[in-house]
Every structure is written in structure tokens, then in C-alpha cells.
């Protein structure tokens, strides 16, 4: 007895994204942990999942990966663009550590936050609100870098007035030889940024879906809201906005390289991200599961080993 057998007539019927084949997803979930890193034919030859034994390893490895990209761009005398997430976050402390140890300045870096909480019209939280992504980035990355930091004019946030200009700004920088790196986490419903799976229903085909640069006041899936209630708002669902401003696939899939992270475990045997990670790696790319396109790009996806599973029942 499971969800697939009992979903008819339940409150779960129609709740999950329409394009999800639950039987197929369950088959992916049932595969043994040894299958997680098995390469798929659609993976980019230079895409690599990286298992991290501990949370400390995860934060350090991912932080080093970001810092190394900044260092290499500095040595090459070129600008570098980062599309940046708020979640995961622990890696930024190590990015700061390595850049300070190496004495690498960041005046060649341009940071574009991928999303921000909003209302239905795209209005966002004040920058000083501790729940805002701008506040989080200032506290985790830009402030701690001190004198080596990214100039204020090169820090971009997904507010109503600026998000629509991202495409032009990034294109102009790429014309100047800048490299684009997308740093990302994976949502419970496999979103990238806040580009949700149910948006797929609005487009006639994959090509049209891939042309989308951004959305103001995007309607979030209930699982996205509850995921963030648990991971960022200490279970207080009522604090989580129901909308967000977000970049779209035309931006996050334009990356020259990706740096991804999945650290969604709560310890004591509890986790929320193992299924999302398996779907990302082993479901063929589809707009109904946005994260499935990330392995088609060169780069690394770091994940906490606990997420390998097995994904079986264990009452806690």
C-alpha cells in the first residue's frame, strides 16, 4: 500500500505537478545507492556528481569550487558572472575563507541573485529584512569578503526593477569575454531558482519553455513553500511568501559551467532531498522537472552522501 495505490479520491490527487509520472519516479527512487552516479546518455561529458561524506565536506568542497572559478578568472584577466542562490548557503563561508587566504580580489566578479521572495506583483521584501535573499547574501558573502569584496554596483538582486534587465546585462558582459557560472540548489519539486515545474503547462514545447528569461511574482508550488518553512523559517509556514521573482531557463541554462549542491538532510535518518536528487540525475530532461536539464551542462553537482539512500521507510 503506497501513494500510487491510494491517491485516487485523496487530497493528493492533482496536488503534484501534472507532468509527473509517479510510477516512473518511484522506480528511480527504488534504485540502490550504487546506481546514483551511473552516467546517463544525456549527461554532458564534463558533468560530474561529487559525493561528500559530511556536511562540512560539502560546504568546503562547494565553497572551494566557487573560489577557484574566481581565482582562475582573475589569473586569466577576464570577468566572471555568477548566478547565485540562497540555498544552499554554507559554502559561502568557505568561498570567503579561500579567497582571503589566497588574497584574491573580486572586482572582476559580477553576482546576480537568481530569485527573491515577492508578492503577486513582484514587490519584494526590504533589503534589511532577515528573510530577504539580498540580506542573506550581504551577510554570507559580500560583507565577510571585506576589502576583497565584489563592488556594490556589481551585485544584482532579483527585485522588480532589476530582474528584467538581467538578460541584457549578462549578454553585455559575455560580449566582453566574461564566463557565466550558475550556482544552484535543487528544490523539493526539482525547481532551479524558483522556476517551478507547473510552469511547463503554459508552453507548447520545450523550445518555448527554454526561451523564458524571468518571471515576476511567480506562483510557488505548496511543496516549495513548505520546504522553505522547514529549511529557512524554522517551521513557521506563515512567514513564507507564496510568490517569488525568479530567473528562467534562458538564463540558468546559458551557463558555461555549473556548480550545484544538494545537502537536504536533517540528520537522525530524516531527509527531504534524496528523491529530488535522483530525479535530477536520472530522469530524462523535461520542463516538468526543471533540474533534469542541469546534468546536460558541464560542471559539478556536490551532494551529501546520506542522500544516496536507500530511500526506504524508517519511522522517526
The reported pLDDT for the residue numbered 268 is: 86
Distance between CA atoms of residues 92 and 64, nearest Å = 9
Distance between CA atoms of residues 292 and 157, nearest Å = 25
**Assigned domain for 314 exists:** no
In the predicted model, residues of the chain with pLDDT beneath 70 are: none
255 within 8 A of 46, measured Cβ to Cβ: no
114 within 8 A of 247, measured Cβ to Cβ: yes
**Assigned domain for 219 exists:** yes
**Assigned domain for 275 exists:** yes
Name every residue whose Cβ is closer than 8 Å to that of residue 8 and which is 6 or more positions away in sequence. none
- Sign, CA torsion 132/226/93/216: negative
Distance between CA atoms of residues 301 and 299, nearest Å = 7
**Assigned domain for 77 exists:** yes
- Sign, CA torsion 37/43/45/49: negative
Burial class (CB in 10 A: 0-12, 13-18, 19+), 205: exposed
Give 215's strand partners: 246
The reported pLDDT for the residue numbered 267 is: 83
Give 90's strand partners: none
Q: Measured in whole angstroms, how far is the alpha carbon of residue 138 from the centre of its chain?
A: 18
**Assigned domain for 17 exists:** no
Angle between helices 91-102 and 55-76 (to 10 degrees): 40
Q: Which of 212, 283, 295 shows the shortest CA–CA distance to 20?
A: 283
CATH number at residue 219: 3.40.50.1360
**Assigned domain for 218 exists:** yes
Angle between helices 274-282 and 22-30 (to 10 degrees): 100
Distance between CA atoms of residues 271 and 292, nearest Å = 20
Would the pTM of this model clear 0.85, i.e. be above it? yes
- Structural domain tally of the chain? 1
Distance between CA atoms of residues 144 and 236, nearest Å = 28
The reported pLDDT for the residue numbered 289 is: 98
- Its domain, for residue 171, covers 44-308
Q: CA distances (Å), 156 to each of 77, 115, 297, in order? A: 22, 10, 24
253 within 8 A of 297, measured Cβ to Cβ: yes
**Assigned domain for 39 exists:** no
59 within 8 A of 304, measured Cβ to Cβ: no
The reported pLDDT for the residue numbered 90 is: 97
**Assigned domain for 216 exists:** yes
Distance between CA atoms of residues 295 and 284, nearest Å = 10
Amino acid at each position: 500500500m503506497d501513494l500510487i495505490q491510494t491517491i485516487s479520491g485523496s487530497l493528493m490527487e492533482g496536488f503534484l505537478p501534472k507532468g509527473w509520472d509517479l510510477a516512473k519516479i518511484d522506480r528511480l527512487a527504488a534504485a540502490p545507492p550504487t546506481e546514483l552516479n551511473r552516467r546517463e546518455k544525456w549527461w554532458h561529458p564534463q558533468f560530474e556528481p561529487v559525493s561528500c561524506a559530511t556536511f562540512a565536506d560539502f560546504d568546503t568542497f562547494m565553497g572551494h569550487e566557487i573560489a577557484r572559478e574566481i581565482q582562475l578568472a582573475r589569473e586569466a584577466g577576464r570577468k566572471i558572472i555568477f548566478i547565485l542562490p540562497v540555498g544552499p548557503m554554507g559554502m559561502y563561508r568557505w568561498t570567503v575563507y579561500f579567497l582571503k587566504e589566497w588574497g584574491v580580489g573580486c572586482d572582476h566578479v559580477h553576482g546576480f541573485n537568481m530569485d527573491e521572495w515577492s508578492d503577486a506583483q513582484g514587490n519584494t521584501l526590504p533589503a534589511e529584512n532577515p528573510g530577504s535573499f539580498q540580506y542573506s547574501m550581504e551577510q554570507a558573502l559580500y560583507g565577510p569578503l571585506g576589502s576583497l569584496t565584489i563592488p556594490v554596483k556589481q551585485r544584482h538582486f532579483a527585485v522588480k526593477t532589476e530582474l528584467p534587465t538581467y538578460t541584457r546585462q549578462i549578454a553585455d558582459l559575455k560580449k566582453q569575454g566574461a564566463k557565466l557560472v550558475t550556482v544552484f540548489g535543487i528544490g523539493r519539486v526539482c525547481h532551479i531558482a524558483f522556476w517551478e515545474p507547473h510552469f511547463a503547462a503554459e508552453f507548447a514545447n520545450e523550445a518555448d519553455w527554454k526561451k523564458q528569461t524571468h518571471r515576476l511574482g511567480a506562483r510557488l508550488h505548496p511543496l516549495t513553500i513548505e520546504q522553505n518553512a522547514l529549511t529557512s523559517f524554522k517551521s513557521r509556514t506563515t512567514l513564507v511568501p507564496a510568490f517569488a521573482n525568479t530567473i528562467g531557463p534562458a538564463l540558468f541554462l546559458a551557463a558555461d559551467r555549473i556548480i550545484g549542491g544538494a545537502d537536504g538532510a536533517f540528520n537522525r535518518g530524516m531527509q527531504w532531498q534524496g528523491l529530488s536528487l535522483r530525479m535530477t540525475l536520472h530522469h530524462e530532461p523535461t520542463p516538468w522537472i526543471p533540474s533534469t536539464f542541469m546534468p546536460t551542462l558541464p560542471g559539478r553537482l556536490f551532494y551529501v552522501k546520506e542522500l544516496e539512500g536507500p530511500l526506504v521507510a524508517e519511522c522517526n
